[in-house]
Each structure stands twice: as structure tokens, then as C-alpha cells.
Structure 1
Amino acid sequence: MKKSVIILAFALGLTGMNAQTEGNTSKNFNKWSLELAGGVNKPQKPFSDGYYTSTPSPWVGDFGIRYMFNNKFGLKADVGYNSLTNKKNSLEFNSKYYRADLQAVANLGRIMNFETWTNTIGLLGHTGFGYSQLRSDSFSGADEMLNFIAGVTGQIKLSNRIALTGDFSAIFNASQDRSFDGVYLPDNRGFSGVLFNATVGLNVYLGKHSKHADWVVMDNNSNNADLSALENKVAQLEEQVKKVPEKVIVEKPVTTTIVSDKDIVREMIDSKYYSVYFDFNKATPIENSTAAIDAVLTYLRKNPSANLDIIGYADQVGSSEYNEKLSNKRAQNVKTILEKAGISSSRLNVVAGGADTSIQKDSEEARRLARRVTFKVK
């Protein structure tokens, strides 16, 4: 009876959480970012005879602002500047190339499920059209063009607010009336101009939430940004459990059964209600798991004769040997937390559960639930 009530309460909590997060998915992460980068370029064509640049040639500057509709697709507007100068054994020239573009952005890291092997490396693809100008000491005024740009941007997350980037882009100019050196007048008015840029820079994430769309993993069905809503609901249910009186009287037709609060808590611990969760490839509990540790710690303090199995698990990504070590490290770290809180080491037994095969491995949200530590009271 007790287990049924607990399971029913938890199921109702999950239902309420799902109904709430489905309507608020877009509010769970930041969408705006600024992009700043600098680097080198290589104008490929057109050039007049005897004119060419170094490979690569400095320098390039780029600034953009990006908005993500979700964790996979977005738009960005950016402006760029290229300095085009001659190589030592080339005829001298000095040209400047300016552009402004509107581009579609695809978060290739999320589309290709990079989260299954890394939480710090990302990849963006971008492409679009814009307006550009070529100015040179060799002619007056500006050669005005339309351009098509496409590129890929590698990312290394330094923090939730900053990512280091490396970008390679190709730019194709339409209706380019002057060569990059400013001397030659091309006959081809199609996409005759070709320019390559390679830059290193920063993504600066804006917004009040802890994560940006670049690094948020959503479930394919519910589009839930992460487990934060679930963890908050768990914390709320734990608070409700703490309010259960010392004795609960359950009346039956013939007899009266008295169930103590500590028995309910023990059953909840053994039923894996109190679980400690971890980020991918990490052995430090996530912040919202402290409530579960506190509940188990309180039970051990109130029941000094009770011992505890601390069972660590990993998801099914990686080798079985690695997951065995990771699950053991997770359990050891939780044991250390309990020891520092005053629980004797002799009461705590670490069990390495390895990969939790009871949870499917094809869903990222399921894998998040697998990365945990559970408890068993003895």
C-alpha cells in the first residue's frame, strides 16, 4: 500500500512537470549571442596578371549577432572586413573588402548528437547572402556586389557564457566588376569572385538563463531542455515527505496499522526515489541532487544502526571497463560527502554498477537518468 501511494504521487508529479515544461520549453535557455573574430584570408580570384597575396594573408575582422529559435536552428547578422595587400614579389596594391550578411545557422553539434561523447565541443554551420564592397587605391569609388557565404564554426565551451571559436568560410561575389587588386575589369558578371576566410574568436552568450541553445540537449518527443524541471519537482516532493507526521494511522475494517515515517523514507530510498544525478562523463553530483543526499543523510542520522549500499551507475556510452570505473568514482564521491557530514565509513559500502542497461541508450534524456547513484538500506 505504501509503495503504491509513493509511486502514484511520483507519477502525478511527473505528469504535472511534463504539462508545465511543454509550454515553457522556449524559456529554459538563452537564445542571443555576440560573435567576435579575427584572422587571415586568401582572395582566390579574380586577380590581374602579376598581382597576388600571401597564403594566408592578414587580416580579417568579423562581428555578428545571432538568435537561435531552438537548440538546432537560428539566424545571424554579421559584418566583416578584409585587408587585401600584395605579397613581397607581387606588384603592389592595397584593397579593402567590406560585407554585411544575413545567414541561417544550423547547430551541427546537436544535430549529430555530439553530447554522446562531449559536452564542451560544438560545431555550427552557416550560410546566407549579403551585400559587399571592394575599395582599392587603384580606382576611385566602390565596386558594389552581392555575395553568397557558407562556412563551419568549431566551438570549445569555456563557460556557460563564453565559447572559443574557429571558423572557415568561403565567400562568392556576384557582379564583381574589379579584380581584388583593383586593376583588372572582369567580363564574367556571375559568381566570379572567390574569397576564403579563417578566423579565431569568441561567442559571448546573452540572457538570464544558465545555458545557451548551443549547448542545450532536448528530448525528441517532449523537447524538454534538460532535467532541471524534473529535479525541481523531485525536490518539491521531498519537502512534502518531510511534512509527514511521526505516526500515520491507517484504518482498516478489522485492524489498525501504525506506519512510522522512517519506514516510508527507507522504502523511498530502496525504491531509488532518492537518486543523485551527474552530468555526462562527470563524477561530481549536479547541484539539484543535494536534496537527495540530504534526505539520505537525515535518515542515517536518525537510524544509527542502519548501513547503506551506495550504488553508482553510468550510461551506456563508452566501454564497459570505463563505465565500471566511472560508476565506482561516482559512488565513492557520494560516500565521501556522507563521511564529511559525520557518517562512519564502516556504515557505507560502495558498489560499482557499471552501465545501467535498464534504461534505453538511444535517448539523451534517458541517458541522463542513467547517470546516477542510488541507495539501499541494510
Structure 2
Amino acid sequence: MNLKKITLLAACTLLGVSAVSAQDTMDDQGMDNQNDFNRWSIELEAGVHKPTRAFAPGYYTNSPSFGQGGLGVRYMITNRFGLKLDGGYQSIESDDESLEFKSRIIRTSLQGVVNAGDIMNFREWTNTINVLFHGGLGYSILKAEEPFEQGNDEMLNLMAGITPQVKLSDHFVLTGDISAIGNIRQSYTYDGTMRNNIPGVDGFMVNASLGLTVYLGSAEKHADWYNQESKLEEEVETLQNRLDEMENDMQDTDKDGVPNYLDREPNTMNGVAVDSKGVAVDKNGNGVPDEIEDSLDKRYAKSGSNNTVKGADSGTIRKLIDEGYVNVYFKFNSTEPEAYSLQSVNYLVKYMMENESAEAELIGYADEIGDPTYNKNLSERRAKKVHDILIAAGVDESRLSYTGSGEDNSVDKSSNGARQLVRRVTFKLK
């Protein structure tokens, strides 16, 4: 097969593999996954070279010789493997002590590329240094110009090398490269003065280059620096966070049968009926859950009477207040009374208004969760809050006093419902 046809076939192979790889990156829904990382890059390089064989007697070059460069286009099929189509130019000239000659080589090759840095887990310790391996088959033309011009010597080349990388930014990388090139069917020596009779790999040289790689694409990273394991870890962490959030949403903090994410009143008192949105049922709209209101009416009613506490005698009301049946309850770590507890404040207001000589002490409490010193202060602030509400309701400040008793440890601190009972302000009449 003609060597030019081989090169054309190699180029078509690159385009074909690129098209197939693009198909392979489609997910089950037909969506393109190529945006995970950039795949295309342009590579420029220049440097020195050293042809080692074959030369006619008396002909040789400097060690090393300047005058070689290359340009390539690379496509990464995955973050570990890719293809590169590249071309190069080499100017080969005699050393000062050699017989004079001058020739040049133009080459092209299709190479496979291996991202060794990813395979060897470089990303675990650096995001700046990487290494690529490359190797493949190509086509070269050797043309001797001095001391006499020869026709084109067409040949195949085998090329392999290693390319260290130093990342300058997400789109630019400084590279070094050392490559070995072996020529097959090289008919003439590099100096062009005699036929080359070395069998097999007829010619051999080594290139050393510095270069710049430019990454193309809109993704944040190129395949050279993409870490699949890190990406998977991020996805797992994201899923875990979502699961944690869902688990938290599905919790029912106030045990009213409505999960937190649907609960508009997440601190409903235990045991009261709620609607589908977690709001305590309060048909008369007085701020007291109906079940609590019924219980209070029964507790504070006269014996054998259907009247509520409003009709009870002062002695009964005083006893209920003193013995702790009338309390103002609070949400966790809060000085705002529960809405239904304001009725308890109303009972005390009515009693104080009907008994002008009475005085009341307001005693605040907190549960055992948290720092005792903080809870002591919190209990006093709760008592002060109720104190201010009573004054605003018309009770003279001189008839009131308040204090904070800190933590009430009389209940099981692991029970939400029990802790709700001790977050309170209770009253003592004088």
C-alpha cells in the first residue's frame, strides 16, 4: 500500500474514533456527557534532536542539534485514553568537524495517548504535575539537499515518548517531551550520500522538546486533570446530603403525625389534634387548641357545674394557681409563650383584678438541655416576659415579682414531651 494512502487512512481512523467516542458518551436519556471535562487540545513544541543512525562514514551531527518542532491535535476518548494526530519538521545539519551535509524530514503520525498521571493517582497529591505516554505509527519524508540533492525518501515511522506536564491554568499547560523515532524503509542515510542497507528499523533518532498545550472547551477541567474518583465522591456526598435532608424533613419533631417539611406549626403541644398541615385544631379561634381548652374548662369548673373558671370562687382559683395547675409554656430555647398558654396569663389577670390586695410571684423554669448557667438566665427571661405581659394587661407592677429557678430536672430529659412540660412559668400568690 502507498505510504500516502496509509497516512490518509490514519487520519480517517482518528475522525472515525472521535465520532464513535462521541456516541459512547451519550447517556441512557440521549444527553451528552462530554461537558464533564474538555477533550480537545492543540499541542505545539520545539527543541533539539539527535539522529543516531544511519550516516555514511565521515558524516555526523552535533549532540544535540537544534532544529525540530511539531504541531498536534489531541482528542481524549476518556480521561485516561486518547488519540493524537501530529506533524513535525526536522532540520539535520553537519557538525563543524563532519563532512558537510544538510537534509530535512517532514513527518506525520497517529498516536495513542495514555494519561499516566490519572492511572497512577497523581491527583491524590498534586493538581499541577502530570505525565502522558504516547506512541503510534506515521509517515515521513527525508530529503537530502547538500552536498547533492536526492529525491524524496518515503518511509514509515514508529514513535513513542513521554510528556511531563505542568499546569499553568485550566486552559494552558507547559510540557516537556522526549520521544524516540524509528524509521522503516529508510532508503538513504540521513546525509543522503549513500544507500542505507540496515535491515528492519533503518533509521533512529531522539527528540527532546519544550512546548505549550492549549485546552479547548467550556468545561472547568480537561481530561488530563479530571479525577473520576473525586467526581464520584462528590456525587456520593451530594446524594448523602440529599438523603440527610430528606430524613430530616421526614422527622416529626412535635409527634403530631405531620412530617417537618409539611408542618406549619412544628412545635404543637403533644397530644392535641392537628390538621393536615400540622396546625392545632382551634375552631373558635381563641389561640387555645380545642382539646386543651376542653381540659381546662373541666379542670377549672365548679364541682357539679358546667361553668368554666370564670364562675369559680377565688379560693378555688387561688388553689389551682398555687398548686401549679396554671402555667405558661414556652418553645425550646425561646422566651415567646405558646399561643395556647396565654389563656393561663388571662386567668391570673382576672384573679388579680378581682382581688386588688393580691400579689403574685412569677417563677421561670427551663429544661436540662444546654448549659445550666444559660438555662438559669433563660428561665429568668421567661418570667420577665410574662411579667411584662401582665403589666401590659393592666396589673400594677408593684404587685408583681419574678425570678428564674433555672433547670427543672424532675422529668426524663430524653423525652420531648416531658421537656415541654418544664419549659414554663408558674405563679405563686401572696
TM bracket, shorter-chain basis: 0.5 to 0.7
Partner of 2:311: none
Counterpart residue number, 1:199: 209
Of the candidates 31, 37, 41, which is equivalent to residue 29 of structure 1? 37
Which residue of the partner structure matches residue 162 of structure 1? Answer: 172
Aligned residue for 1:139, secondary structure, equals: coil
| 1:227 paired residue among 234, 243, 266 | 234
Rounded to whole Å, the distance in 1 between the matches of 2:35 and 2:264 is 42
- CA pair 40-113 structure 1, distance change in 2 beyond 3 A: same
Are 2:163 and 1:146 aligned?
no
Partner residue of 1:254 out of 239, 260, 271: 271
Q: Does 1:120 align with 2:128?
A: yes
Q: Secondary structure at the match of 1:140?
A: coil
1:2-23 deviation line (CA, Å, top 9, x unaligned): xxxxxxxxxxxxxxxxx99997
Distance (whole Å) between structure 1 residues aligned to residue 164 and residue 331 of structure 2: 57
For residues 219-244 of structure 1, the C-alpha deviation after alignment (integer angstroms, 9 at most, x for no partner) is 2xxx9467379669969x98x99x97
65, 69, 72: which one aligns with 1:64: 72
Q: 1:260 to 1:215 in 2, by over 3 A?
A: farther
Compared CA separation, residues 194 and 248, structure 1 to 2 (3 A): farther
| Alignment-derived partner of residue 222 in structure 2 | 212
Q: Give deviations 1:51-105, integer Å, cap 9, x for gaps.
A: 1111110111100000001110000000000110011111111110110000000
SS of match in other structure, 1:249? coil
Q: Distance in 2 between matches of 1:207 and 1:29?
A: 8
When residues 189 and 143 of structure 1 are mapped into structure 2, their CA distance, relative to the original with a 3 A threshold, is: farther
Contact 1:97 1:133 in 2 (8 A): yes
User: For 2:224, what is the secondary structure of its paired residue?
Assistant: helix
Matches of 2:333 and 2:235, distance apart in 1 = 28
Question: Could you give the per-residue CA deviations for residues 182-206 of structure 1, whole angstroms, max 9, x where no partner exists?
Answer: 1121113421200110000011000
2:97 aligns with one of 69, 89, 92: 89
Code of the residue aligned with 1:90 in structure 2: it is: S
1:53, 1:114 → 2: CA distance?
39
- Structure 1 residues 147 and 261 mapped into 2: Cα distance closer, same or farther (>3 Å)? farther
| 3-state SS of paired residue (2:107) | strand
Identity of aligned residues (%): 41
Match of 2:186 in 1: 176
Q: Aligned partners of 2:138, 2:331: CA distance in 1, in Å?
A: 71
Cα distance 1:198–1:262, how it changes in 2: closer, same or farther (>3 A)? farther
Structure 2 gap segments, 5+ residues each:
1-26, 250-259, 280-329, 335-373, 375-430
Deviation at 1:132, TM superposition (A): 0.2
Between Structure 1 and Structure 2, the one with more strand by share is 1
- Report the alpha carbon displacement of residue 140 of structure 1 after superposing the two structures with TM: 2.7
Secondary structure of 1:70's match? coil
CA RMSD of aligned residues (A): 3.8
Cα distance change of structure 1 residues 158 and 232 upon mapping to structure 2, 3 Å threshold: farther
1:254 is aligned with what amino acid? G
Question: What amino acid is aligned across from residue 97 of structure 1 in structure 2?
Answer: I
Could you tell me how far 1:27 is from its partner in structure 2? 2.8
Runs of 4+ in 1 over 2 A off after TM superposition: 19-27, 223-235, 243-263
2:181 partner letter: I
Letter in 1 for 2:196: P
- Name the SS for the 2:42 alignment partner: strand
Asked whether the 8 Å contact 2:72–2:86 carries over to 1, the reply is yes
Query: Within 2, Cα distance between the matches of 1:252 and 1:67?
Result: 64
Deviations 1:274-331 (A, max 9, x none): xxxxxxxxxxxxxxxxxxxxxxxxxxxxxxx9xxxxxxxxxxxxxxxxxxxxxxxxxx
- Contact residue 158 and residue 181 of structure 2 kept, 8 A: yes
1:231-286 per-residue CA deviation (whole Å, 9 max, x = no partner) reads: 69969x98x99x979954377983479998999xxxxxxxxxxxxxxxxxxxxxxx
After superposition, the Cα gap between the structure-2 partners of 1:260 and 1:200, relative to the gap in structure 1 and judged at 3 Å, is farther
Q: Which residue does 1:52 correspond to in 2?
A: 60
Closer/same/farther in 2, CA of residues 262 and 202 from structure 1, 3 Å limit? farther
Per-residue CA shift, 1:6-56, capped at 9, x if unaligned?
xxxxxxxxxxxxx99997654311000000000000001000111111111
Secondary structure of 1:209's counterpart equals coil
Check if 1:185 corresponds to 2:195. Answer: yes
| Structure 2 residue matching 1:227: 3-state secondary structure | helix
Is 1:43 equivalent to 2:51 in the alignment?
Answer: yes
State how far apart, in whole Å, the 2-side matches of 1:261 and 1:151 are.
Answer: 69
Greater mean deviation of Cα atoms: 190-199 or 223-232:
223-232
1:274 maps to which residue? Answer: none
CA distance in 2, matches of 1:232, 1:64: 40
Larger Rg: 2
